[in-house]
A and B are shown apart, each in its own frame.
Chain A
Amino acid sequence: MADVSVAAEAAAIRSAASGPSGPKPRHALSRRNIFLYGTLLVVALYYLLPLYVMVVTSLKGMPEIRLGNIFSPPLEITFEPWVKAWSQACTGLNCDGLSRGFWNSVRITVPSVLLSIAIASVNGYALANWRFKGADTFFVILIVGAFIPYQVMIYPIVIILREIGIYGTLTGLVIVHSIFGMPILTLLFRNYFTSMPEELFRAARVDGAGFWGIYLRIMLPMSLPIFVVAIILQVTGIWNDFLFGVVYTRPDTYPMTVQLNNIVNSVQGVKEYNVNMAATILTGLVPLIVYFVSGKLFVRGIAAGAVKG
């Protein structure tokens, strides 16, 4: 681009002079292009390599893995490791596979996403349009709190949950996810609602709509994109969580990530690398699908949620 544009610039400067004008024709195979696309391709291959190795390993039988090399495609494709990972892999005494973890994760993720977004969107709306004295103070504490390492707060939360009597249950974990999703989501919604035209809100007020009426009939329908961003952010974040899962649930309610780690890193038995890789793909599948389907919205979501780490 540089040399081409420089030529264009030079041509523009000499615009008074007659003669051929416009950019110099670009050669597809210029040195610059070879370097540029070559580098990008090599890096892209590096990024794709682990995914590729995961997939081919999960499709091989164990004898082939022992003999062959991890990069070679499977000679005989077998789906047995996938079946085994899903329904037979063992963690401790349970041998019902990752399916249990999958359904646990579904039962954790769905209510956590709904609850956290419901709380944060209403809260962001209140902060944007119905400010009351002291509201901003709490908001600042909330945002600053997002930087506190989770390790500082996990034990006090254990005590709180134990006092309420929901420590170790999925309900407890859902509440924990809603708490820790709150700073970033509230920020997201507050900023979005603040950027909406003030007249809209005023007109609705004049027409007699109240707090909930405006939220449900005007704000909610008009801010669907930001809700989608929030859903993407929360689904991937909560699905990928490990720390809260391991602290706030019991073995029979472990989310998928925790169960996956237990399956792969268990010290007992013969290591079945193909089953391990099939299990790993299965666990990564949900966020990957969300990622590939949502495209640019995902980028928006993580740019907003990057603080969450």
Chain B
Amino acid sequence: MSNSERPNQLFRNLNAKVASIPMILTALVVFVGGTAWTVLYSFTNSKLLPRLNFVGLDQYYRLWATPRWLVSIENLLIYGVIALVFSLVIGFVLAALLDQKIRFEDTFRTIFLYPFALSFIVTGLVWQWLLNPDFGIQRVVRDLGWTSFSFDPLYNSSIVIYGISIAALWQGTGLIMCLMLAGLRGIDEDIWKAARVDGIPMWKTYLFIVIPMMRPVFITTLVIIAAGIVKVYDLVVAQTSGGPGIASEVPAKYVYDYMFFAQNLGQGFAASTMMLLSVVIVIVPWAYLEFGGKKRG
């Protein structure tokens, strides 16, 4: 910098620079610095306190040999596929239904979206109650006379992740519906008219004309859902605390537990770095598709 020659340079537009200090600190210290710090310390054998005692990839080998981590990853994959497929399909169908110039559209939209205002903790606890085998849906159906009826996803380790997905879908599909509805409203009315004149049935219009036209909306939605999937934590804590056993563990919970309970920081850092890696794998191709070629800020 030619600071000595032109002392004004740094102080020009000073107010704007002062106003941006929180952003600069957040970007550099927390986001870049924090991430680099965690990645760096994931190569150490830090236990109770972070120590720069490098052990190479040991933490990662140990991570991928830990059954709990493998269960977490498997759960995240199942949960992720369910959340992606069902929230996209249900969200789109609901949006398409609401887009039929119906009455009470606002009422329906308000009802479909209200769970999104609730926290994952509240969502998890309500569904824990509804799925309670002694008092909830299972009991009600059994009282009706079907005594062998069994529906206890939260207490059955082979299907517990599906029980959690039910709650997640209840909470989140409203948002997807809203995004889809906004996308549908952006489709030119003339497209619909042209399709009708050509006698194309409605479902075909949706499938082959409208959905391809909504590609940007779908991609944005996809990124939003994917970012939410990796972060899933509170819902599991509230609904099952990872149980029964370790059947519903997820990576975010693994990280938290190893950092703050097991006092095995190195494992926590390695696991969180793996989470970061999974986000990078999702985000980079998307960013490349969206912004590839042109430089944009």
Q: Are A9 and B193 in contact (CB under 8 A)?
A: yes
Tell me if B13 counts as interface (CB < 8 A to partner A).
yes
B residues contacting the other copy or chain, number (CB 8 A): 97
Tell me if B69 counts as interface (CB < 8 A to partner A).
no
Tell me if B73 counts as interface (CB < 8 A to partner A).
no
Q: How far is the CA of A40 from the CA of B182 in the complex (A)?
A: 18
Q: Are A123 and B117 in contact (CB under 8 A)?
A: no
Contact indicator per residue, chain A 227-262, by CB within 8 Å of chain B (1) or not (0): 000000000100111110011000000000100110
Q: Are B102 and A156 in contact (CB under 8 A)?
A: no
Contact indicator per residue, chain A 136-148, by CB within 8 Å of chain B (1) or not (0): 1111111011011
Q: Are B135 and A70 in contact (CB under 8 A)?
A: yes
Q: How far is the CA of A33 from the CA of B189 in the complex (A)?
A: 21
Q: Are B100 and A153 in contact (CB under 8 A)?
A: no
- Beta-carbon nearest neighbor of A211 in chain B: B15
- Beta-carbon nearest neighbor of B232 in chain A: A309
Tell me if A110 counts as interface (CB < 8 A to partner B).
no
- Beta-carbon nearest neighbor of B174 in chain A: A47
- Beta-carbon nearest neighbor of B17 in chain A: A132
Contacts known (A153-B35, A306-B175); A43 close to B135, Cβ less than 8 A? no
Question: Quick one: which of A13, A40, A151, A309 contacts B275, CB cutoff 8 A?
Answer: A151
Q: How far is the CA of A210 from the CA of B18 in the complex (A)?
A: 14
Question: Quick one: which of B34, B130, B273, B297 contacts A136, CB cutoff 8 A?
Answer: B297
Q: Are B178 and A302 in contact (CB under 8 A)?
A: yes
Kindly provide the distance from the CB of B213 to the nearest chain A CB, expressed in whole angstroms. Answer: 18
At the interface with chain A, which of B55-63, B149-157, B264-272? B264-272
Q: Are A125 and B19 in contact (CB under 8 A)?
A: yes
A residues contacting the other copy or chain, number (CB 8 A): 97
Tell me if A174 counts as interface (CB < 8 A to partner B).
no
Kindly provide the distance from the CB of A77 to the nearest chain B CB, expressed in whole angstroms. Answer: 19
Q: How far is the CA of A71 from the CA of B141 in the complex (A)?
A: 11
Q: Are B202 and A142 in contact (CB under 8 A)?
A: no
Question: Quick one: which of A65, A141, A242, A292 contacts B119, CB cutoff 8 A?
Answer: A242
Q: Are B196 and A139 in contact (CB under 8 A)?
A: no
Q: Are A36 and B121 in contact (CB under 8 A)?
A: no
Interface of chain A residues 260 through 287 with chain B (CB within 8 A): 260-261, 264-265, 273, 276-277, 280, 283-284, 287
Q: How far is the CA of A151 from the CA of B13 in the complex (A)?
A: 36
Contacts known (A280-B122, A284-B122); A138 close to B179, Cβ less than 8 A? no
Tell me if A204 counts as interface (CB < 8 A to partner B).
no
Residue from B94, B125, B227, B276 whose CB has the most chain A CB atoms within 10 Å = B125
A residues in contact with B283, CB < 8 Å: 147
* A to B contact number (C-beta, < 8 Å): 268
- Beta-carbon nearest neighbor of B12 in chain A: A132
B residues in contact with A236, CB < 8 Å: 117
Q: Are A148 and B112 in contact (CB under 8 A)?
A: no
Kindly provide the distance from the CB of B192 to the nearest chain A CB, expressed in whole angstroms. Answer: 8
B residues in contact with A51, CB < 8 Å: 114, 126
A residues in contact with B28, CB < 8 Å: 138, 141
Question: Quick one: which of A40, A47, A151, A212 contacts B170, CB cutoff 8 A?
Answer: A47
Residue from A131, A144, A280 whose CB has the most chain B CB atoms within 10 Å = A280
Q: Are B38 and A288 in contact (CB under 8 A)?
A: no
Q: How far is the CA of A251 from the CA of B246 in the complex (A)?
A: 26
Question: Quick one: which of A9, A136, A257, A276 contacts B129, CB cutoff 8 A?
Answer: A276
Contacts known (A9-B197, A159-B50); A149 close to B126, Cβ less than 8 A? no
Residue from A50, A239, A257, A292 whose CB has the most chain B CB atoms within 10 Å = A50
B residues in contact with A288, CB < 8 Å: 114, 117-118
13 A–B contacts, CB within 8 A, in A order: A46-B170, A57-B129, A123-B20, A125-B19, A144-B31, A147-B279, A153-B34, A156-B38, A257-B234, A264-B128, A283-B119, A298-B113, A303-B178
Chain A positions near chain B (C-beta within 8 angstroms): 1-2, 5-6, 9, 13, 36-37, 39-40, 43-44, 46-51, 53-54, 57, 65-66, 69-71, 119, 122-123, 125-127, 130-132, 135-142, 144-145, 147-157, 159-160, 178-179, 182, 186, 210-212, 236, 239-243, 246-247, 257, 260-261, 264-265, 273, 276-277, 280, 283-284, 287-288, 290-292, 295, 298-299, 302-303, 306-307, 309
**7 interchain residue pairs of minimum CB distance:** A145-B31, A240-B119, A130-B16, A211-B15, A156-B34, A291-B117, A126-B16
Chain B positions near chain A (C-beta within 8 angstroms): 12-13, 15-17, 19-20, 22-24, 26-35, 37-39, 50, 94, 97-98, 100-102, 108-122, 125-130, 132, 135-137, 139-140, 143, 170, 174-175, 178-179, 182, 192-193, 196-197, 202, 223-224, 227-228, 230-231, 233-234, 237-238, 241, 251-252, 255-256, 259-260, 265, 268-269, 271-273, 275-276, 279, 283, 297
